[in-house]
Each structure stands twice: as C-alpha cells, then as structure tokens.
A and B are shown apart, each in its own frame.
Chain A
Amino acid sequence: MSTAEAVELLRVEGLRTHFFTRHGVAKAVDGVDFSLAKGERLGLVGESGSGKSVTALSIMRLVRDPPGRIVGGRILFEGQDLLALDEAAMRRLRGSRLSMIFQDPIAYLDPVMRVGDWIAETLMLHRGLGRKPALTEALRILRLLKVPSPEEVVHAYPFQLSGGMCQRVLIATAIATEPALVIADEATSALDVTVQASILKTLTELTETLGTALLLTTHNMLVVRKACSRVMVMYAGRVVESCATDNLFQAPLHPYTIGLLNSVPALESIGQPLVPMAGEPPLPTDTLPGCAFYARCPLRQSRCQVERPPLQEVRPGRWSACFFAEQAGRMRHAAG
C-alpha cells in the first residue's frame, strides 16, 4: 500500500520548533515535512537530540512554552491545521482523536491515582461517561490488551505495577477513545527487552484492529523494523532519509543512516564487528550553512560545508538529504 492511494491522515509541512534558552536559540526541529496515511505505521528514528521527540510533542502541541515554541509550519490533521486551532479545540482532540504514550511509563502516570481511574478519566472526559461505566469500559480495554488479572490492576497504584504493566495502562488510555493517531514517543526504550517485544506486538496488533495510525519515535532501529512499514531518519532537527522500512535496511541512501545501521547489531550483519559512529552531532544552538552531518560524514565534499542538501526523491519512494545518495548506497553494499 503506497501513501499516494491511501487516505491522508496527517501532513506536517515545514515544521519548525525552537527553544529560546539563555545560551541561544536551539533549533530542535527545523523544517520537517512528512505525511501519514490512515492506519499507517511510521517510524521516526534518530539519536537523542535529533528532534524526533520534539516533533512528536509539536504535533500534540505540548511543547513547553517557555522555553519552546512552534515558530513555523503547518500540521494538517484530518484536514484541519492544528496550529490554527484555539486551545479549547486542541484539547478536545488530545486524548480523543490523537493520543500519546511515553518513554518512562511509571513517571507518566499520576502516582496517587489508581490506574483504573486514570484510564476512566479519559473516557469520562471525551465520551461523557459516568465514573462507573468508565471504569467498566477501562476493565474491558485492559482485557482486550490481554492484561493478566485486570480486576486487580485497575485498583492498583502505578508504584505497585511493573514498567511493562504501566505501559499497557498508558496504551489502554491512548486507545480507549479509538483515536485516529497514536504517537508513541520512545514507548519501549525504558523497558526490558522481553517486555519491549510484547509491548510492540500489542501496539501493532491494536492499531491494526482499530485502524489507528501510529507514529513511533525511537533511537532503536530494531524497534522500527518490527513495528513500522515506513521510516524517517532525523538528524539535527531535519529529516535526512525517508522510505519503506525494508528498503532502508537493504539499501540506505544517506551516510548517517549507514552509520546508524553499522552501529547496531542486525540479522544481516551477524558476525561482523559493530562500527560506532565517530564524532558528536552539532549543538542545537549552532547555525550551520551546510549539511549538519558534515563533520562526521565519510563522503563529505567541500560543497557540503557551504550548501545544505535538500530532502529529494532520489529513487521512486526513496528520499534522501545527501548530494551523494547513490554513492552512499554503494558504500553500504561495500561494507555489508
């Protein structure tokens, strides 16, 4: 299924979110474009500080102001520009049409609220249910998520539950209102590997059943591979590569993606040494005229330092922000 035929759910155009700090303006997100179809699962990959989480928060309009502010762009969700909505209208969408789950599940639950009430709160707010019916519904959703002994879980406080269980509670909350889009921000990163797998499975199955789109941010390539049909790689506030997940793993077209793939263990590279990427990403407060990856890039030319490579469709359905995308593609083959 290609995005062109599918019904578009979300379109982000030229999104720029900056943080105004004492040390200067940090351009956490600096011109991000992408779109997401109904029911599609898109992965947003990058190191910490690449701007993936800020992109996610910007779509929810939950960037803390001050210091952060969305300074440009449009976020079209179900046809309306979220950035043009007033706060009350935005609140009606949050938790009902688009919802979010987070990295450290225990920290993202109210420590003094029973988790049943936490799930019910969303249902009471958006579906106008009373407390009793909302709790019954919460119990039903937990059963749907195959949570063991849900009757006990609803009466528990977050500190009495495991991290994985808390994440299931957050997922239950997120899908309780059958939203069109769920944003999962590093939703598995803080969990044990075994729990990670089962949470990912739950997420993919649920979104498939409900026809919900999923935007999943992660620094973990393997998570994307398991859960997403399409992937976007972010670096220093911009998208550097975007394509179908399989393509990315077979033939990446950006030197940064190659570096990322070489630094993580993968099925294809079993037996090969892992190559950590040299150098550090630029500071978000730096203003660079050229490519942000220049300092770390094995393919760099003098042109890259003065001119920023735009995100271009270098092959059908393959987007890369590198002047030497084809060379990059051959580089991966040489290495792998």
Chain B
Amino acid sequence: MLAFLIRRLLLLIPVLLGGTGVVFVLIQLAPGDPIDVLMGVYSSPEARAALREKYGLNDPAHVQYVRWLWAVLQGDWGTSIQQRVPVLPLVIEKFWITLLLTGAAALFATVLGVVAGVVSAVRQNTWIDRLVLVVSVFALSMPAYWLGLLFIFVFSVQLGWLPTGGLRSFIAEKTTLDVIEHMIMPGIVAGLTPAAIIARVARTAMLEVMRLDFMTALRAKGLSEGAVILRHALRNAAPTIVSMTGLQIGYLILGAALFVEIIFSWPGLGLEIYKSVIGRDMPMMLGLVLFSTCVFVLLNLVVDIIYRIINPRVRDS
C-alpha cells in the first residue's frame, strides 16, 4: 500500500508540470492582452508598458513559466491581474464554496443513482427498470445550463419559491437555511447527470454480480432477498460503483459545476475559471489550473485507495 501511495504521488509531479505547461503555452498563444482587459484599449502606452513590466509580461514565455513555477514552490501563487489580490487564498476560498455545492450535488447524485441502479437491477426487465433506463437517458441528454434556466423560470420567476442565484441573500441574516435555499436548485441541476451515470453503472455492476453462482449459495443459507442484495450483491458491486462515483465527483467539481455556477451565479471555482479565461488573467488561470488538477488527481488517488480497501482481490493479492 505504501509503495502504491508513493508511486502515485510521484506520478503527480509530471501530470502537474505537464498540465500547467500546456495551459501556459495555450495562454501565450491566445489572442487578446490582459492589459487591454484591465486598462481598456485606449490607455496610454506608457501606463501599459509600466503595467507589463510590473507583471513581467515582457519576458520570454519559458522565463515567465519557470519564474512562476519557482514562486509557486515557495508558496507565492502570484497576484490576480483582474482582482489584484493574491491567487492562492482566493482560489482556496472559492474551492470551499464550490465544494459546498458539489458536495450537496454529489450526495444527491450518489444516493439517487445507487438506489435507482440497484432497484432497476433487482427488477430487471420490468416497467421500473425500463423507466430508470429511459429517465437516465433523458437526464444524460439534459443540458445543465438549460435545465438551470428552466428551474429559475419556474421556481424563482413564476412560483417565487427559491432565490435565482448567488450564495446567500444580500439583505437577509446570514443563516444556514438561507444558504441551503440557495443550494437546492444548483445542487439538483449539477447532480442530475452524475446521478444518471451512477445509476447506469450501478445497474450494470449489480447485474454482473447477481448472475454469479454464490447468489444461489446465499439463498441456500436461508438469507432473505434483502440481505442477499444489500449485504452481498451491493457489497460486491461496490468497488465498481465507488470508482465511477469518484470520477463523476471529480468531473462535477471541476467541470459540470462550471455551467451551473455561471447560471446560478454561484461564486465558486467554475465562475472564477470563466472570469479568468474571459479576462485573460494569466496568474489566476494558472493558479486555478494547478489547484484544480491537484484536486482532480488527489481525488482520483483517494478513490483508488478506497477501491483497494474495499476490494480484497486487489488488496491482498
């Protein structure tokens, strides 16, 4: 286990170097100038040159990259050009806000997906199985950015039940309930596609296990159908379900949530990525990529570790 951990952590280094390198090159190639965004196209050349000098934008690309990397290793992630604050604390703050939303969405997706997948496998080829399959295809086909708009139109504009977006109300007192109210719609919208994927994976994994001979042996022991399914079949399908769920949570935090955060103005990483791309805010973007990739890779590592723990065939052989 220890050797596995060390190997995986070492593998993190090329992935992080490569990932940030790729993004660095992309930003260099990208049209547009952060100075334009910051000062406007009609600013004076002297002011522009001073600012370029200040952010080190005149040096060759590789010099900029190495300088950035060196600084990052010392804990200095640079300063956001747009927001003029240090990158690292800002990214961490935004990460927690995103985690709040995606945590809720992941919980919703996991519970709904596993329950739907298990039920549909146990009742294979019945109407409920077909319903789960068809609904899951619909959920997969649903653009989150459109569903978000529909939700806002129906539940906020028409019915007035829920706030249209943001993390909390401006005027209301800062209660947990207020935040939860703001989380409901984005949480459901962000969780729907992962729920569908988890349901399909759980169904397939359960069917694979339920075909196996030992299911008969369990029944011959006198176990009830519930115990056979929950204590044994689900336990055997768990490694597959866990690794797919982990992957989905990774995509959720670092991808799918982006659309949802934009639609619901949820002030998290996704919205920040969007703003930094639009604003050509290079230090911010690099920081976000570095941080997101770290989270993504570490999450995958955690999922792999859980997979090994709950799968004795991998762990003990």
Seen from chain A, the residues whose Cβ lies within 8 Å of a Cβ on chain B are: 57, 60, 62, 91-96, 99-100, 102, 104, 107-113, 121-122, 125-126, 157, 159-160, 170, 173
Interface residues on B, range: 20 to 34
Residue of A nearest to B220 (CB): A100
A110–B213 CB distance below 8 A: no
Give the shortest distance, in Å, between B65 (CB) and chain A (any CB).
47
A107–B222 CB distance below 8 A: no
Is B89 in contact with chain A by the CB < 8 A criterion? Answer: no
Residues of A within 8 A of B218 (CB): 110
A112–B213 CB distance below 8 A: no
Is B232 in contact with chain A by the CB < 8 A criterion? Answer: yes
Is B235 in contact with chain A by the CB < 8 A criterion? Answer: yes
A94–B222 CB distance below 8 A: yes
Interface centre among A100, A109, A112 (most CB of B within 10 A): A112
Could you name 7 residue pairs across A and B whose Cβ atoms are closer than 8 Å?
A100-B217, A102-B217, A108-B216, A111-B236, A112-B235, A112-B310, A160-B316
Residue of B nearest to A102 (CB): B217
Give the shortest distance, in Å, between A109 (CB) and chain B (any CB).
6
Main secondary structure of the interface of B (DSSP, over half): helix
Residues of A within 8 A of B317 (CB): 159-160
Cα distance, A104 to B217, chains bound together (Å)? 11
Cα distance, A104 to B216, chains bound together (Å)? 12
Cα distance, A316 to B236, chains bound together (Å)? 53
B316–A125 CB distance below 8 A: no
Give the shortest distance, in Å, between B37 (CB) and chain A (any CB).
55
A108–B217 CB distance below 8 A: yes
Residues of B within 8 A of A108 (CB): 213-214, 216-217
| Mask of B83-121 contacts with A, CB within 8 angstroms, 1/0 | 000000000000000000000000000000000000000
Given A110-B236, A113-B232, A159-B313, are A125 and B213 neighbors across the interface (CB < 8 Å)?
A: no
Is B311 in contact with chain A by the CB < 8 A criterion? Answer: yes
Residues of A within 8 A of B212 (CB): 107
A93–B313 CB distance below 8 A: no
Cα distance, A121 to B221, chains bound together (Å)? 9
Number of A-B residue pairs having CB atoms within 8 Å of each other in the complex: 71
Q: Which of B233-286 contact A (CB under 8 A)?
A: 235-236
Seen from chain B, the residues whose Cβ lies within 8 Å of a Cβ on chain A are: 212-214, 216-224, 232, 235-236, 310-313, 316-317
Residue of A nearest to B237 (CB): A112
Residues of A within 8 A of B217 (CB): 100, 102, 108-109, 170
Given A102-B213, A112-B311, are A157 and B220 neighbors across the interface (CB < 8 Å)?
A: no
Give the shortest distance, in Å, between A77 (CB) and chain B (any CB).
14
A62–B222 CB distance below 8 A: no
B214–A95 CB distance below 8 A: no
A94–B221 CB distance below 8 A: yes
Nearest first, the 8 closest Cβ-Cβ pairs linking A and B are A95-B222, A94-B222, A95-B221, A107-B213, A108-B217, A100-B220, A157-B312, A91-B222
Cα distance, A95 to B221, chains bound together (Å)? 4
Residues of B within 8 A of A92 (CB): 222
Give the shortest distance, in Å, between A111 (CB) and chain B (any CB).
7
Give the shortest distance, in Å, between B125 (CB) and chain A (any CB).
10
Give the shortest distance, in Å, between B101 (CB) and chain A (any CB).
34
B221–A102 CB distance below 8 A: no
Cα distance, A112 to B209, chains bound together (Å)? 11
Residues of B within 8 A of A104 (CB): 213
B221–A122 CB distance below 8 A: yes
Residue of B nearest to A157 (CB): B312
Residues of B within 8 A of A170 (CB): 217
B223–A157 CB distance below 8 A: no
Q: A95-B221, A111-B236 known; 19 other A-B pairs, CB under 8 Å? A: A62-B219, A94-B219, A94-B221, A94-B222, A95-B223, A96-B222, A99-B220, A100-B217, A100-B220, A107-B214, A110-B232, A112-B310, A112-B311, A112-B312, A113-B232, A122-B222, A125-B223, A126-B222, A157-B313
Residues of A within 8 A of B213 (CB): 102, 104, 107-108
Residues of B within 8 A of A100 (CB): 217, 220
Residue of B nearest to A88 (CB): B224
